Amino acid sequence: MEFRLPYLLAMRERAPQMFNQLRRSGQMDAHLEQKVQEAARMLKEMLPENPTLAAEREAEEVVRATLIEFPSEESARRRTPPRL
């Protein structure tokens, strides 16, 4: 399952501040690797030993929908207490 590129593109579009922060800090590769591993574990747990192609595709969609989720930057700002 290709997860890295769809996740990266979604982050760039939906969470540009997170994308830029990870890129500037040099932590992007580590973050992506962690998410790819999480997606692989989740997919493995969801699938039976000999899955059908339809079952694989359905599980991949569930993994993507679950893991490619970013809070809106507006809601993230509202949750962050103001600095004093």
Please give the C-alpha separations between residue 12 and each of 6, 15, 54, 82, in angstroms, as whole numbers.
10, 6, 30, 25
Residues 6+ apart with CB under 8 A from 43: 1, 59, 60, 63
Q: Pick from 10, 27, 23: which is nearest to 72 by CA? A: 10
The conformational region for residue 38 under phi > 0 = left, psi -120 to 50 = alpha, else beta, is alpha
- Written as six digits, the tokens of 83 are 């600095």
The pTM of this model reads 0.78
pLDDT tens digit at each of 84 positions of the chain: 899 999 999 999 999 999 999 999 999 999 999 999 999 999 999 998 899 999 999 999 999 999 999 876 555 555 555 444
